[in-house]
Amino acid sequence: MTLDARLTPTRTPENTARLTISCPDKRGIVAAVSQFLHNHGANIIHSDQHSTDPEGGQFFMRMEFYLEGLDLARGAFERAFAAVVAEPFAMDWRIWYSDQPKRMGILVSQYDHCFLDLLWRWRRGELDVEIPVIISNHEALRADAEMFGLPFHVIAVSKDTKAQAEAEQLALLQGKVDFVVLARYMQILSGDFLQGVGVPVINIHHSFLPAFVGANPYRAAFKRGVKLVGATAHYVTEELDAGPIIEQDVARVTHRETPETLMRLGRDVERQVLARAVKAHVEDRVLVHGNKTMVF
């Protein structure tokens, strides 16, 4: 062990937190936040900020800090921050504590690539989450979920039963999750569902939309001779596939591809993009402004 390591206090999760801020930009925001943390004995570990316009724009900040004894004084700390810093600067702010893993609900249909990738990353500790609820409209992936020791609920959905199915889904999700991931859930969620669930919902889809829609977009893209396949992860809104984008990526393809290899390459991109989006959300790196995101 090095001398520096011996002298550096151990950062325990219960004393580490992430602070996110959005407010009208003006002079002194960074100084006020930093001074407050300094006055309370905190050590800033990471800090990122962005302004849409230094003259009248919107300011965004993500700050991670360590404070010995924070686990014993969270309420008092938050009240002091609200009074001393947040209210004077009209901040929309939140503190998330590192010893409180976010609870991730998953909705999935029959495609397993994104679903299994998330479970694998969770088991390896790459995603600091709990998974209290998995819901599907098919039985196909039950054995996979149970292999990971996770609860799996099947709620069939049809045109005639959609409202009832969503009510059953909400009963399983409300109050039990901090966000929901659609790991290739092949149903459109209603506005009533999104309002009822009350937490962010993250979706993944191929980036062929809107050019190639329907049941087999990869075959349609193959017929057009596309040179790129990709994927987009975004927050879900009532407007289909139009919510704030969190993460995107592409892979180059050639005329030598077949519909099958296009699909394989596309699904590889989908699972990687979704994993990065979920990780960014879990670590409070995504701040939403209108229909755009800042990803620190």
Active site residues: 241
| Number of Cβ within a 10 Å radius of residue 221 | 23
What's the CA dihedral at 98, 99, 100, 102 to 10 degrees? 60
Range 190-198 contact pairs with CB under 8 angstroms and sequence separation of 24 or more: 190/162, 190/163, 190/166, 191/238, 192/163, 192/166, 193/166, 193/169, 194/236, 194/237, 194/238, 196/166, 196/170, 197/170, 197/173, 198/174
Q: Which amino acid is at 51?
A: S
Distance (Å, whole) CA 273 – CA 144: 21
Three-state secondary structure call for residue 224:
helix
DSSP label at 82?
I
Long-range residue pairs from 190-195, CB within 8 A, at least 24 positions apart, any chain: 190/162, 190/163, 190/166, 191/238, 192/163, 192/166, 193/166, 193/169, 194/236, 194/237, 194/238
Query: What is d(CA 175, CA 170) in angstroms, rounded to the nearest whole number?
Result: 9
Give the torsion through C-alpha atoms of 184, 189, 193, 198, to 10 deg.
Answer: 50
The token duo for 120 is 């694998």
The rounded distance, in Å, linking the Cα atoms of 211 and 220 is 9
Query: CA of 213: how far to CAs of 158, 275, 276, in Å?
Result: 20, 24, 25
